[in-house]
Structure 1
Amino acid sequence: MKSKLLIALFATLGMSMTAIAAPVTYTAEANHTFAQFEYNHLGYSNQTSRFNTVTGTVTIDPAAKKGSADITIDTKSVDTGSAVFNGHIQGEDFLSTTQFPTATFQSDDMIFKGDKPVALKGVLTLKGVSKPVTLNITNFACKKHPMSGVDACGANAETKVKRSDFGMAKYVPAVGDDVTILIAIEAVNKQ
Structure 2
Amino acid sequence: MIKQLVAVAIAASSFAAVAAPETYVMDGSHTFPRFSYSHFGYSTQLSHFDKTSGKIVIDKAAKSGSVDVTIDMKSVNTGSALFNGHIQGEDFLDTAKFPTATYKSTKVNFDGDKVVSVDGNLTIKGITKPVTLSVTSFQCMPHPMLKKDACGANATAVIKRSEFNAGKYAPYVGDDVTLTIAVEAIKE
TM-score where L is the length of structure 1:
0.95
SS state at 2:83 partner: helix
Tell me how far 1:13 sits from its aligned partner. Answer: 2.7
1:18 to 16, 19, 42: 16
Tell me how far 1:9 sits from its aligned partner. Answer: 4.1
Specify the alignment match of 1:34 in structure 2.
32
Tell me how far 1:95 sits from its aligned partner. Answer: 0.1
Specify the alignment match of 1:149 in structure 2.
147
Tell me how far 1:3 sits from its aligned partner. Answer: 6.4
Q: Contact conserved, 1:163 with 1:177, CA < 8 A, in 2?
A: yes
Equivalent residue letter for 1:18:
A
Tell me how far 1:24 sits from its aligned partner. Answer: 0.9
1:184 aligns with 2:168: no
Tell me how far 1:164 sits from its aligned partner. Answer: 0.5
Which is worse superposed, 107-116 or 155-164? 107-116
Tell me how far 1:173 sits from its aligned partner. Answer: 1.1
CA distance in 1, matches of 2:29, 2:185: 10
Pairwise mapping of residues 1-191 of structure 1 onto structure 2 (< 5 A)? 4=3, 7-190=5-188
Tell me how far 1:128 sits from its aligned partner. Answer: 1.0
Q: Contact conserved, 1:67 with 1:108, CA < 8 A, in 2?
A: no
Tell me how far 1:171 sits from its aligned partner. Answer: 0.6
Equivalent residue letter for 1:56:
G
Displaced runs of 4 or more, over 3 A: 6-10
Which is worse superposed, 93-102 or 10-19? 10-19
Equivalent residue letter for 1:26:
Y
Equivalent residue letter for 1:71:
V
* RMSD, aligned α-carbons: 1.3
Tell me how far 1:14 sits from its aligned partner. Answer: 2.0
SS state at 2:108 partner: strand
CA distance in 2, matches of 1:164, 1:3: 66
- Structure 2, unaligned stretches of length 5 or more? none
Equivalent residue letter for 1:189:
K
Which is worse superposed, 74-83 or 6-15? 6-15
TM-score where L is the length of structure 2:
0.96
Aligned residue pairs total 188
Equivalent residue letter for 2:124:
L
Deviation per residue, 1:25-76 (Å, 9 max, x gap): 1110111011000000011000000000010001111111111111000000
SS state at 1:31 partner: coil
Tell me how far 1:117 sits from its aligned partner. Answer: 1.0
- Structure 1, unaligned stretches of length 5 or more? none
Identity of aligned residues (%): 55
Q: Contact conserved, 2:106 with 2:121, CA < 8 A, in 1?
A: no
